Amino acid sequence: MRNRSGRMSALEMVLVVVLCLEGVFLAWCGYRWYQVRLAHGNDSLRVNTALSVARINSSNGDDCPVDGNADHSCVHWNGSAYVSYFDGVANKIVGDKPAGYNQSSSMDIDGVTYTGKPGTMVIQVETGNGEIHLSWVLGRASS
């Protein structure tokens, strides 16, 4: 008298719910992976921009790279190199450390990996003797 054709059993219902939850979990993992890769890529683009600006401003590593120091009166000389910082917001090289702007917790420059909390690191630019060296360092503390 009972016709059960077309109805789901309790086991099938549980399996459908588990598969749906697994799909949501995998979608969330994919989104997180995408966000991490995007942040890492954004930091890599900032490194490329900093290097390009440093090359132009310092005449390929011979002079002070700080924007506005065309009269060669740069006070950023430490005895062996000009030390300055890339401002990631203005896309300029400045003498004082800006607030941190990294988006990833792991940044790379020339095969060297730097780690720091997002929003705490800046790119340090050192030029001199025709060479340009970039590195990630702690930025100015936010107040």
DSSP readout, 26-90? HHHHHHHHHHHHHHHHHHHHHHHHHHHHHHHHTTTTTS--STT-TTS--S-B-SSSEEEEEETTT
Is 97 part of a structural domain of the chain?
Answer: yes
Per-residue pLDDT for 111 more than 80?
yes
Per-residue pLDDT for 60 more than 90?
no
Is 50 part of a structural domain of the chain?
Answer: yes
Query: Could you tell me the residue range of the domain that residue 39 belongs to?
Result: 10-138
pLDDT at 70: 58
Please give the C-alpha separations between residue 17 and each of 12, 117, 134, in angstroms, as whole numbers. Answer: 9, 37, 51
Is 123 part of a structural domain of the chain?
Answer: yes
Per-residue pLDDT tens digits for 62-96: 888 888 775 556 778 888 888 999 998 888 999 89
Query: 66 vs 4, which has greater pLDDT?
Result: 66
3-state secondary structure of 104: coil
Is 3 part of a structural domain of the chain?
Answer: no
Per-residue pLDDT for 20 more than 90?
yes
Mean of all residue pLDDT scores within the chain = 87
**Tally of structural domains, the chain:** 1
75's CB contacts (< 8 A; 6+ apart) are 95
Confidence of residue 133 (pLDDT cuts 50, 70, 90): very high
Is 2 part of a structural domain of the chain?
Answer: no
Is 143 part of a structural domain of the chain?
Answer: no
pLDDT at 3: 67
Is 61 part of a structural domain of the chain?
Answer: yes
Is 5 part of a structural domain of the chain?
Answer: no
Contact 88, 76 (CB under 8 A): no
